Amino acid sequence: MKHPDTIRLQQLARQHLWMPFTQLADLIADDGPRIICRADGSYLYDTDGKAYLDGVSALEAMVAGHGREALLDAAIRQYRQVAFIDLFRYVTPSQIELAAKLAEITPGDLSRTFFTPGGGEAVEVAIKIARQYHYMRGEVDRVKVITRHGAYHGTTFGAMAVDGNYHATRNYIFQPDTFGRIAPAPEVGCGVEHVREIAALIERENPRTVSAIHLDPMNTAIRVAIPGDDFLPALRQMCDDYGIILIADEIITGFGRTGKMFACDHYGVVPDIMTLSKGLSSGYFPIGAAVVRGAIADAFTGGPEHTFRHGHTYSGHPVGCAIALENIRLIESEGLAAQAAESGAYLLERLQELSHHACFGGVRGKGMLVGLELVIDKATGETTTPPGKIGLIFRLACRERGLILLSIHPGNVMLIAPPLNMPRAEIDALVAIIDGALADTAKAVLQS
Ligand SMILES: Cc1ncc(COP(=O)(O)O)c(C=O)c1O
């Protein structure tokens, strides 16, 4: 039985709300949208009282979990002091302290932060900084940015340009002359051979026309194809050889998600620019950042032609910065990165126990960033056509059993990325639901 609030709110949503990547007919067919009215720890509750384990931390954001009082207190303290002032002309202590903290915790000489309202805007900023940097040095033809097939970096114009045909956001209605260039997708465990593939694309394009490569170091959107240990160091070397800026998009992987504070820390690699969002505030406020190496930031000092002409009214909102500072304090004091390493290893081990299922195509991951591949033929790795068909069936089976997951490129890979402090008992509950959902999926797909 639906609660009257559910019926009323669903009707209003269907009439007035435009949800991202959503077709109204699909929403109605799915009896949606589900209306979440309460959240605590790793659990979400809808208006009909159904509980769901949040297996993807609300689009990978809630690294510290839902309902953290310390983050609410930090927000209220900042609201009371200064609710808002624009960063164009004035600054509050929280913005300065956060920039300094990011310089301290990000790798190497990443030391200057440009704040944004969210992730896509941080990607825009990184690309614009890379292009202006080359331009100011007289390399005016360096405008192209390399991405990989299947990558997702957001939906603003710059971010669309580095989309790897994921959800078709690299959409030719908007970008017939895009400056993005798509290298092949990485394989799981990829190493120097993948760097050679990227280098081959750069050679074809002419290296002097390439400004940057933009990538998520863990290839999250690309089947969670966790790279081998030699990939990122070899890519760093290649960028240095060609004079190309390396942008590490740590919007998902940052802030402990992979078992270290940043994914780049696993490989001892310092990117030229790091983009951050999501875990930066654990989702308690929309905020993003591009953290830039000192030498690149220094190139923007000089006359007015050196000014970086970019900014959003809500870039580095003081409340977002205050929350982010407190969130980083929590991540550090509670050792959430180490917890992610331990819990992620346990989660992977438990998921491996499900390999007897007919649809189980394999699991892989780093920390609390795990990909589960769904297939219809384990021997060949064959999956449904389109691959999203099995992903959708499995995702709905999980939801029915009380677990929220996300399917990612090319549609048959499920992302499992819970809050980093998810207790063991809840990890066990999550695995039990996946166990049941794998059986449901086999029934629905293999016997159809
Ligand atoms: C790796 C990566 N980069 C960028 C973005 C875009 O961030 P936002 O949705 O805040 O614009 C996302 C969003 O999922 C992402 O996963």
Residues 415, 303, single domain; the answer is no
Alpha helix (H) ranges present in 267-387?
294-298, 318-333, 336-352
Last residue of a domain, one of 317, 333, 349: 333
Q: Is 251 in the pocket of ligand 1 (CB under 6 A)?
A: yes
Which tokens is 84 given? 């808002």
Residues 78, 107, single domain; the answer is yes
Give the pLDDT of residue 1: 85
Q: Report whether pLDDT(170) > 70.
A: no
Residues 238-267 have a mean pLDDT of 98
Q: Report whether pLDDT(137) > 60.
A: yes
- Report pLDDT digits (tens) over 370-384: 999 999 998 899 999
Pocket residue to mutate for ligand 1, from 147, 153, 163, 408, most atoms within 8 A of Cβ? 153
Q: Is 383 in the pocket of ligand 1 (CB under 6 A)?
A: no
CATH number reported for the structural domain that contains residue 116 in this entry: 3.40.640.10
Give the pLDDT of residue 124: 97
Residues 82, 140, single domain; the answer is yes
Residues 269, 352, single domain; the answer is no
DSSP state of 432: H
Give a yes or no: residue 29 inside a domain.
no
- Report pLDDT digits (tens) over 92-130: 999 999 999 999 999 999 999 999 999 999 999 999 999
Q: Is 326 in the pocket of ligand 1 (CB under 6 A)?
A: no
Given pLDDT bands bounded at 50, 70 and 90, which one contains residue 169?
low
Residues 201-226 have a mean pLDDT of 98
Give the pLDDT of residue 175: 76
Alpha helix (H) ranges present in 206-308?
231-242, 294-298
pTM across the whole model: 0.97
Residues 32-46 have a mean pLDDT of 97
Q: Is 118 in the pocket of ligand 1 (CB under 6 A)?
A: yes
Give the pLDDT of residue 409: 86
Residues 224, 349, single domain; the answer is no
Across 375-443, the runs of DSSP E, i.e. the strands, are: 403-404, 406-408, 413-416
Q: Is 249 in the pocket of ligand 1 (CB under 6 A)?
A: yes
Give a yes or no: residue 17 inside a domain.
no
Give the pLDDT of residue 165: 81
CATH number reported for the structural domain that contains residue 407 in this entry: 3.90.1150.10
Across the chain, mean pLDDT equals 96
Residues 165, 287, single domain; the answer is yes
Residues 229, 371, single domain; the answer is no
- For ligand 1, atom 4, the nearest C-alpha belongs to 153
Domains identified in the chain, total number: 2
Give the pLDDT of residue 26: 94
Neighbours of 101 (CB within 10 A): 17
Give a yes or no: residue 18 inside a domain.
no
Give dist(CA 128, CA 114) in Å, integer: 12
Residues 299-310 have a mean pLDDT of 94
Residues 126, 273, single domain; the answer is yes
Q: Report whether pLDDT(168) > 80.
A: no
Q: Is 350 in the pocket of ligand 1 (CB under 6 A)?
A: no
- Give residue 54 CA to ligand 1 midpoint distance, Å: 18
- For ligand 1, atom 11, the nearest C-alpha belongs to 120
Residues 179, 263, single domain; the answer is yes
Domain assignment of residue 380, given as a range: 34-64+335-446
Given pLDDT bands bounded at 50, 70 and 90, which one contains residue 447?
confident
